[in-house]
Amino acid sequence: MREYYGSIPRTHRDLYDWIDTNWFQVLLVGATVVLTLATVFQFSRNPFYVNKDSALFQHAGWYIGQGADLYVDIWDLKPPLIYFVTTLLAFLSFGDMAVLHVMSVIVAVATMIGGITLVGVITHRLTEDGFASVVAGMSMLVVPSTFMFPYAGIRPKYFAFLCGAAALLLAIDDRPLYSGAAAALSAGFWQLGGILAFLVVAMGYDRGGRRGMGRTIAGGLVVTVLTVLPFVLTGRAIPLFVEVVLGPIYGVISYTIPGRLLKAVIELGYGIVLVPIGVYGWAHATVEDYSKYWWLALGGGLYLFQVFLEFQGAIEIILLLMFLAIGVGVLVSEAATPSRQAVLACLIVLLVVSTLYWNQGPVTPVRDAVEDEYEKWDIANYDSLPPDPEGWPSMQTIYWEKLKPEYCHYRLGHKQKFLEQETGGTLLKETCGQWPYDDPPLEWATGGLYPF
């Protein structure tokens, strides 16, 4: 293969060889350019806009620095690691909320760039094909949320993606201790990262037997203990469990199968085509070399099923998207000729552009038709919820004015309202995290395990 470090590609074959040789630089620089330009564009259109979820994460980071206790003074169902990050950022911003927001946006962009790049690195480890690795990373852009939404603030799913990709790469590189630690970090940012934790344990066993599995588990346990220990030592283990474990269980949304499938089309647009392409990549690779690719099909299949558990927006499938992108990369590497690889690459580019228009375009008659059909299948959730406290400020107002809320419920999401309603609680309380059942936690847990 010819080297093209210093020359300009003059033919299609030269361009292919140049990308194949310089794949890492192409992917890293490309992801950086796309994420940066998209963020600057979005920020210029709506300066200092902060999403309400991001406003909670960032405000809570500042609030914790003022002495507030997570899960007691601040109710949320996300695991705690995102608050470790925002507390550090709040400290570095010296309490300036505008600086905190800009820093959060920069971290969000950097996190997504890192995750996209790692998808390409994983693909290269598997295929040793630089061109396919670039296409795999590029496939992450088929969902516009990956590059159009970081301008609105920090989100735990970005970190779950980065840590999850790192966990897979470390497992492939036979570094089970660090792989387990990275997977636990992913779960510490988002509960659904826990699927990755089980997957890398299986990969550790497959590649290193009981020793490999044990080291993977050990790495995960170290991170888990370090994450949970501060809450145990400060008497907040029960609030942590109530909000992070029980909250999501109570908040599961009802749906119909047709409704959920139509929701996927609404969120992904033409990018829905990436699903069969990625799945075919998993299947083809697993049939060709089961011992090498079984985990790709297993992990991807599990996250494909996740669509029927938790799916409120496109960013919810970012871990599924990671597996689909690797599947696309593997499929590209298996193409017989560079011309066929180029066709698949052009298809991915077309999906990126068309899905961006689907989400951002001023006229979307097809989307409007799908949304009308979705309304016929949608099921109303939370028919009766406690009303918001009268005159309660928006999450954005709480953030920008650095308010110290009177009540611990101040994000006022549907899931937390529903949990309080179902367990006989109230939104009007100064501290959260109380045990909602008559039986004490230990008796409640053993009663659930041993009902007789």
Tell me the β-bridge partners of 74. 70
Scored b (16 or more CB within 10 A) or e, 334-350 reads bbeebeebbebbebbee
Confidence band for 22, pLDDT divided at 50, 70 and 90? very high
Which residue shows structure tokens 């799945």? 279
Compute φ and ψ for 411, nearest 5 degrees. -75, -35
Confidence band for 174, pLDDT divided at 50, 70 and 90? very high
In a domain, 396, yes or no: no
In a domain, 384, yes or no: no
* Tens digit of each residue's pLDDT (9 = 90 or more) over 260-275: 888 889 889 899 999 9
The more confident residue out of 413 and 223 is 223
pLDDT higher than threshold 70 for residue 394: yes
Q: What pLDDT score was predicted for residue 384?
A: 76
In a domain, 282, yes or no: yes
Q: What pLDDT score was predicted for residue 170?
A: 98
pLDDT higher than threshold 60 for residue 375: yes
Q: By percentage, how much of the chain surpasses pLDDT 90? A: 68
In a domain, 104, yes or no: yes
Q: Which residues contact 377 (CB under 8 A, 6 or more apart)?
A: 256, 258, 259, 262
Tell me the β-bridge partners of 70. 74
pLDDT higher than threshold 50 for residue 4: no
> Rounded distance, CA 70 to CA 82, Å?
11
pLDDT higher than threshold 50 for residue 407: yes
* Tens digit of each residue's pLDDT (9 = 90 or more) over 354-364: 999 988 877 77
Q: What is the mean pLDDT of residues 79-85?
A: 97
Q: What pLDDT score was predicted for residue 197?
A: 95
pLDDT higher than threshold 80 for residue 390: yes
Domain extent at residue 61 = 16-377
* Tens digit of each residue's pLDDT (9 = 90 or more) over 317-331: 999 999 999 999 999
In a domain, 276, yes or no: yes
Q: What is the mean pLDDT of residues 159-182?
A: 97
Q: What pLDDT score was predicted for residue 395?
A: 94
* Tens digit of each residue's pLDDT (9 = 90 or more) over 33-63: 999 999 999 999 999 999 999 999 999 999 9
pLDDT higher than threshold 60 for residue 452: no
Which residue shows structure tokens 């998209």? 38
Q: What pLDDT score was predicted for residue 449?
A: 55
Q: Tell me the whole-structure pTM to 2 decimals.
A: 0.93
Q: What's CA 157's distance to the chain center, in Å?
A: 3
**Sign of the torsion angle spanned by Cα atoms 191, 419, 313, 46:** negative
Compute φ and ψ for 190, nearest 5 degrees. -155, 130
* Tens digit of each residue's pLDDT (9 = 90 or more) over 285-294: 999 889 899 9
Considering the chain, what is the average pLDDT of its residues?
A: 91
pLDDT higher than threshold 90 for residue 147: yes
pLDDT higher than threshold 70 for residue 376: yes
* Tens digit of each residue's pLDDT (9 = 90 or more) over 326-351: 999 999 998 878 888 899 999 999 99
In a domain, 185, yes or no: yes
> Rounded distance, CA 176 to CA 167, Å?
9
Q: Which residues contact 47 (CB under 8 A, 6 or more apart)?
A: none
Q: What pLDDT score was predicted for residue 1?
A: 44
Q: What pLDDT score was predicted for residue 9?
A: 67
The more confident residue out of 179 and 379 is 179
Q: For the chain, how many residues are written? A: 452
pLDDT higher than threshold 80 for residue 11: no
Q: By percentage, how much of the chain surpasses pLDDT 70? A: 96
Q: What pLDDT score was predicted for residue 314?
A: 85
Long-range pairs for 345-352 at CB < 8 Å and ≥24 separation? Answer: 345/131, 345/134, 345/135, 345/138, 347/277, 348/135, 348/138, 348/139, 348/142, 348/274, 349/138, 351/142, 351/270, 351/271, 351/273, 351/274, 352/138, 352/141, 352/142, 352/271
In a domain, 425, yes or no: no
In a domain, 257, yes or no: yes
Q: Output the six-digit token pair for 277.
A: 């392409």
pLDDT higher than threshold 60 for residue 2: no
Q: What is the mean pLDDT of residues 206-210?
A: 94
* Tens digit of each residue's pLDDT (9 = 90 or more) over 213-230: 999 999 999 999 999 999
Q: What pLDDT score was predicted for residue 335?
A: 85
Q: What is the mean pLDDT of residues 398-424?
A: 90
pLDDT higher than threshold 80 for residue 382: no
pLDDT higher than threshold 80 for residue 241: yes
Planar angle of CA 82, 83, 84, nearest 5 degrees = 90
Which residue shows structure tokens 């959730």? 381
Q: Which residues contact 324 (CB under 8 A, 6 or more apart)?
A: 139, 274, 275, 277, 278, 279, 281, 300
> Rounded distance, CA 156 to CA 272, Å?
24
Q: What pLDDT score was predicted for residue 109?
A: 98
- The answer to whether 66 touches 404, Cβ cutoff 8 Å, is yes
Q: What pLDDT score was predicted for residue 450?
A: 58
CB-based burial of residue 262 (10 Å sphere; 0-12 exposed, 13-18 middle, 19+ buried)? buried
Q: What is the mean pLDDT of residues 76-102?
A: 96
